[in-house]
Chain A
């Protein structure tokens, strides 16, 4: 064991080894993903390293999700600054709006990559509508001039009233029927996944206290078909 670790530490990493993190996050191209899959299936040391990477992946998501969201102050500051910018003439406004539509056309959120392409199409349509409204409804200056500071901050979607969520990895031998039964038992629903084998689940429709969430995670973790359960805000 020591010899193996030492050997790994002294060696330059192999090409495949370097690609493992991107394989876990699902951002490799098909060719590289196939190469990594093949290597993982016949190299136990590599598989061990991959398991460590999946823990790092879950841990990094957990850490970042726990950072919360900015206050409304940041948004107020931004739109006050935009209001203070010199007025732009019509053609530039149109150009900007077109650009914003372009932004959305180029969006390819990884979180939607697994789902049906219909979802992406709906997003683009929505973006197009928003862009059109921006162009149509702007009389003289940018829309943000009418921003109401009394609006509730849109940054608090992860507030305490939300039902608990968790990143869950099921055991490789878990069958669909078992997963379905577990979801029923815990009133769970899959809200995102499976990236690197991790599913984002939501439990029930009511908020829970910190202790309740901890108990839920502990219970989940003890399930035979669950290999990892990490609470996320």
Chain B
């Protein structure tokens, strides 16, 4: 179990943290996820990669934690992630840094969009694996990522970054 934990806990933590946006809760999630794995090891049938199974459990636990917390401020937080035009000079300079702007806009995406972007780009999951983790049809996976990317482009444009697409 220590080996399994050592191999996967950082990615589980980061996936959970991006969903719940709270380090304390994300750390609690890790122990809950791996405890479930320890209890349910017999149910693992090896049809998917272990990491896919772990991310699916993490997602379920994260959503439960969010429901418990009922944090209504999350959306406000996301909306405030993009600064308005009255930024001070320091922030204005920061905006010129495309990668920093990209980072801020990735953080400002909705939970559904953050989740799918992370699963595909960071956890490098295939269409089929994302469908399994999120519990949606494969076609929905593809279109959801497309619209997440379009939203990201809108946020970047609002932050003054033009990338030539769309």
The interface of chain A, by Cβ under 8 A from chain B, is: 5, 8-9, 13, 17-19, 21-22, 24-28, 48-49, 51-53, 55-64, 67, 69-71, 73-75, 77-79, 81-82, 85, 95-96, 99-100, 102-110, 127, 130, 142-144, 147, 154-155, 195, 230
Q: Which label, helix, strand, loop or mixed, suits the secondary structure of the A interface?
A: helix
Main secondary structure of the interface of B (DSSP, over half): helix
Chain A residues lying within 8 Å of B46, measured Cβ to Cβ, are 102, 105-106
Inside 8 A of B103's CB, which chain A residues have their CB? 59, 62-63
Cross-chain contact A63 with B38 (CB below 8 angstroms): no
A105 to B4 alpha-carbon distance, docked (Å): 12
Known: A25-B124, A61-B121, A96-B42. A67 touches B14 (CB 8 A): yes
Question: What is the CB-to-nearest-CB distance from A63 to chain B, in angstroms, rounded to a whole number?
Answer: 5
- In the bound complex, do residue A75 and residue B9 qualify as a contact, i.e. CB atoms below 8 Å apart? yes
Contact B30 A74 (CB under 8 A): yes
- Quick one: given A49-B165, A67-B17, are A62 and B99 in contact (CB under 8 Å)? yes
Asked, given contacts A69-B10, A74-B13, A147-B2, whether A99 binds B42 with beta carbons under 8 Å apart, the answer is yes
Q: How many A-B residue pairs have CB under 8 A?
A: 162
Q: How many residues of B contact A (CB 8 A)?
A: 58
B27 surroundings in chain A (CB, below 8 A): 70-71, 73-74, 77
Report chain B residues within 8 Å CB of A107.
Answer: 7, 49-51
Whether B132 sits at the interface, judged by CB under 8 Å, is: no
CA distance A75 to B143 in the complex (A): 37
User: B35–A56 contact, CB under 8 A?
Assistant: no
B64-72, B74-82, B87-95, B146-154: which lies at the A interface? Answer: B146-154
Q: A78: which of B30, B143, B152 is its contact (CB, 8 Å)?
A: B30
Our pick among A21, A71, A85, A106 for the contact of B50 (Cβ within 8 Å) is A106
Q: Determine if B9 and A106 form an interchain contact, defined as CB atoms under 8 angstroms apart.
A: no
Closest A residue to B150 by beta carbon equals A9
